[in-house]
Chain A
Amino acid sequence: MEALKQELKENIIEQLNLEDMTVADIADDDMLFGDGLALDSIDALELIVMLDKNYGIKLTDPKEGRTIFESINTMAAYIQEHRSK
């Protein structure tokens, strides 16, 4: 699980071009949207594609994203349970 969280942080930084951030800057329970990393709706689309491409998870209901993308902890838990690759 820890390895997955580390991988997620690295991918988020790379995919979303968070140039000034390092893995150490993102806490497992930081809010990804809103007050935390302040990601926006375009980032949400990037994360949906990332889940599909890297872990074989297709999110058909965009509302699901709200809870899944709350933090690194919630993302990692969802991926671990639903991943097909």
Chain B
Amino acid sequence: MKKVYINSVASITPQKTFDNSEFLDEVIIHDNQVVSAVEPVYKDYIPPAAARRMAKGIKMGVVASKIALQEAGLENVDAIITGTGMGCLRDSEKFLSGIIDNNEQFLTPTSFIQSTHNTVGGQIALELQCKGYNFTYVHGSNSFESTLLDAKLQLELNEAENILIGGVDELADHTTKLHELIHHIKKEDITTNTLLGSKTKGSIFGEGANFFVLSNKEQESSYAEVVSVKMYNTLPLNDVVQTTLSFLKENNLTTKDLDAVVLGNNGDVEFDRFYNELTSDIFSNTQQVCYKHLIGEFNTASPFGVWIASKILKTQTLPDILKLNNKGTSSFKHILLYNQYRGENHSFTLLKTC
């Protein structure tokens, strides 16, 4: 079986991450519960005629895919695999509001056409004129990890050479209000700096698009090797430690072999317990890294963790803003990522330096 490499990365998030020459050099401190993505100048990447029907999520996805391809030095790929938790929410809300507001009359086609979950994957394929395998996974907070696993299997078996994968989700007003009502979003104001120490329920919500070119051919620009990825729909709190150790063992590693662990803590006192099980036990002596305080929670926030881990492995640096503890680690070879959302859809991803 062939090895799988991350040959390029691209990220659009509530931080200024779309410039690949930087690694969180400048951090935006957000002080509200809903944080919007910092957007690049879309016109630099998408012709106005094509962009006019695209909502924010589609634009973010298309631009992130173009940045990823550019960095990989590719004009096309063999496959496009996209993950999204909620799909094109803004157009869905627009279409559904139109039905209600106009008493089921006068329904226009654009928002309906653009509202499907696979719109981003489709638009990327149209832009690239890519007629290869095109698939969209919609699986809550495991949506991106599903794309990673699919791409990994195809590349290992040499069914493809270069695959574009990514995760994208956008904020939309009505859905955000619903999450506020059910307290998935915190009631109180909180800042980027205080979120992870929060003792209340809920998190802050964000949005973004993170895309990567995966390949079974290593190149000079490669960031990391994707060693393994495993997902669980449900995982009892008491099993997290043992499951993590088993995952490491399957990859012939122990906790001592890990140079950092990237965790999906989002400041929700109810569900950060899953991470605390690990940080207070088997990873108490490991460098702990968190990222959701910078970008908020959303179903495809976890690929930003992959972006972070890839950057750490390539640059061998770890910005202070990401450190949950400080172990003074200066050399990074193996990084484990663990993520879950509200106690469901757990994922373990293991990356290794090239």
Q: Which residues of A contact B (CB under 8 A)?
A: 15-20, 38, 42, 45-46, 49, 52-53
Chain A min CB distance to B320 (Å):
40
Chain A min CB distance to B111 (Å):
10
Instruction: Tell me the B104-162 residues at the A interface (CB within 8 Å).
Output: 105-110, 113
Question: Which listed segment binds A: B45-53, B211-219, B271-279, B304-312?
Answer: B45-53
Can you name 5 extra interface pairs (CB under 8 A) apart from A18-B52, A42-B113, A52-B106?
A17-B52, A45-B109, A46-B108, A49-B106, A53-B102
Instruction: Tell me the B170-205 residues at the A interface (CB within 8 Å).
Output: none
- Distance between Cα atoms of A45 and B109 in the complex (Å): 7
Q: Which residue, of A16, A20, A49, A52, has the highest number of chain B Cβ atoms within 10 A?
A: A49
A residues within 8 A CB of B105?
52-53
Task: Tally A-B pairs: CB < 8 A.
Answer: 28
- Distance between Cα atoms of A16 and B108 in the complex (Å): 11
- On whether the beta carbons of A46 and B49 are closer than 8 Å, the reply is no
- On whether the beta carbons of A17 and B53 are closer than 8 Å, the reply is yes
- On whether the beta carbons of A53 and B53 are closer than 8 Å, the reply is no
**9 cross-chain pairs, A with B, having the tightest CB-CB distances, nearest first:** A53-B106, A17-B52, A45-B109, A49-B108, A20-B48, A49-B106, A46-B108, A42-B109, A19-B52
What does the 1/0 interface line of B87-107 toward A look like (CB < 8 Å)? 000000000000000100111
Choice from A18, A38, A46, A52 contacting B110 with Cβ under 8 Å: A46
Choice from A18, A38, A46, A52 contacting B109 with Cβ under 8 Å: A46
- On whether the beta carbons of B48 and A19 are closer than 8 Å, the reply is yes
B residues within 8 A CB of A46?
108-110
B residues within 8 A CB of A52?
105-106
- On whether the beta carbons of A49 and B48 are closer than 8 Å, the reply is no
Instruction: Knowing A46-B109, A46-B110 are in contact, say whether A16-B102 is a contact too (CB < 8 A).
Output: no
B residues within 8 A CB of A19?
48, 51-52
- Distance between Cα atoms of A46 and B48 in the complex (Å): 19
A residues within 8 A CB of B107?
49
Residue ID in chain B nearest A46 by CB atoms: B108
Pull 19 A–B residue pairs with CB atoms less than 8 Å apart, ordered by A: A15-B108, A16-B52, A17-B110, A18-B52, A19-B48, A19-B51, A19-B52, A20-B48, A42-B53, A42-B110, A42-B113, A45-B108, A45-B109, A46-B108, A46-B109, A49-B107, A49-B108, A52-B105, A52-B106
- Distance between Cα atoms of A17 and B113 in the complex (Å): 15
Chain A min CB distance to B139 (Å):
30
- Distance between Cα atoms of A45 and B106 in the complex (Å): 11
B residues within 8 A CB of A18?
52
A residues within 8 A CB of B109?
42, 45-46
B residues within 8 A CB of A15?
108
B residues within 8 A CB of A17?
52-53, 110
- Distance between Cα atoms of A66 and B232 in the complex (Å): 55
- Distance between Cα atoms of A21 and B53 in the complex (Å): 14
Residue ID in chain A nearest B106 by CB atoms: A53
B residues within 8 A CB of A53?
102, 105-106
- On whether the beta carbons of B106 and A38 are closer than 8 Å, the reply is no
Chain A min CB distance to B113 (Å):
7
- Distance between Cα atoms of A79 and B106 in the complex (Å): 17
- Distance between Cα atoms of A16 and B110 in the complex (Å): 9
Instruction: Tell me the B27-77 residues at the A interface (CB within 8 Å).
Output: 48-49, 51-53
- Distance between Cα atoms of A53 and B105 in the complex (Å): 8
Chain B min CB distance to A11 (Å):
12
- Distance between Cα atoms of A52 and B113 in the complex (Å): 20
- Distance between Cα atoms of A69 and B105 in the complex (Å): 22
- Distance between Cα atoms of A49 and B48 in the complex (Å): 24
Q: Which residue, of B48, B49, B109, B113, has the highest number of chain A Cβ atoms within 10 A?
A: B109
- Distance between Cα atoms of A80 and B125 in the complex (Å): 43
- Distance between Cα atoms of A27 and B106 in the complex (Å): 27
